[in-house]
Amino acid sequence: MVVNRPVISVIIVSWNVRESVSRCLDSVFAAAYPRLEVIVVDNASTDGSVQMIKDKFKNVKLISNTENSGFPKAVNRGIFAAVGDYYLVLNPDTRIPRHFFDFVLEYARTNPDLGVLGPRFKNPDGSLQGSVFPEPSVSDTIREYWFGQQGLTAKFTPDSDSPVTVNAVSGGCMFIPKSTFTRIGTFTESVFMYYEDLDYCRRIRNSGLQVIFHPGISIIHKHGMSSGKSSQGKYRNFIESIIYPFRKLLKLPNRIQSFQRYQTESGVWYNGWLKHTLIAGIIWTSRKWPAIFHRKVQN
């Protein structure tokens, strides 16, 4: 019976992606799940997204932010407003299949240790798109960012025909039981965008829950639309996110103002700076590992 089915809260964060979020919402409602709560958190769009949602999607709970406060904060605002038993964090540049909710619920109900489930990602042309993060490796990071061996730290698609435990799944589509949020809390808000999914999956694994990639469930993802059209802002957000682990460890300020002076359209300066920063960070932390480990044990 419908009344016995769990409530699923879909949370979509949008910023100036009116057409994409419209198509995404069309696919969500076409899935025809009977107990659905749909929340769109708009990060101060200026392209008419808010009015379009008000006019076209009357059943959507719309939260309009007065500024673009970033992806993690917006997701958390949606989570706090939601009432579901399960949550689907979904990028606006995605489209889900008709029976998506039935598939994810079937797995969740029979796997109580599930912390988060990520589906297979496909490009609009049907080709595969990586949606799983590899296990972090210092050597791979050095080889890719210093010696230019591309793809070592890139997202990939596991070669598996059945659900498999992985290191981390993409935040573009995360199906999360409410019990996960109860157990470990919401997303880390210290980064603006990028790698918040990697951080959250790490916390899930550390809590003893499972991060699952499900190849039997696929979505379409038009990669890059939801991160906005400004390359300068995109590179800034990327850099601030990539250095988040070092900043957290070293207790550095939340934002580095000097980034403003070095924004370039191509991001070439960032690329060179990133290589040297990663190496410096790795070398610095490696020298401090014994003291850091001792401090962590004491805490």
Q: Following CA atoms 263, 266, 272, 277 in sequence, which dihedral angle do they give, to the nearest 10 degrees?
A: 50
Q: What is the pLDDT of residue 148?
A: 54
Rounded Cα–Cα distance for residues 246 and 251 (Å): 8
pLDDT value of residue 227: 46
Report the alpha-carbon distance of residue 211 to residue 115 in Å, rounded.
6
In the chain the domains, ranked by start, together with CATH numbers, are: 2-227 (3.90.550.10), 231-298 (no CATH)
Residue 39 is predicted with a pLDDT of 99
pLDDT at 42: 97
Residue 48: both structure tokens together: 């008419």
| Torsion, Cα of 63, 65, 70, 73 (10° steps) | -60
pLDDT tens, position by position, 146-170: 545 455 455 657 789 999 999 999 9
pLDDT for residue 268:
36
Sign of CA dihedral 19, 20, 21, 22: positive
Contacts for 194 with CB less than 8 Å, ≥ 6 apart: 227, 237, 238, 241, 242
The model's pTM is 0.74
What pLDDT, on a 0 to 100 scale, did the predictor assign at position 136? 61
**Which tens digit of pLDDT belongs to each residue from 247-284?**
555 555 544 443 333 333 333 334 444 544 555 555 55
Are 118 and 173 in contact, with CB atoms under 8 Å apart? yes
Residue 212: predicted pLDDT:
98
Q: Which regions in the chain score pLDDT beneath 50?
A: 1, 147, 149, 152, 192-193, 225-241, 243, 254-273, 275-276, 292-294, 296-297, 299
Q: Specify the pLDDT at position 137.
A: 55
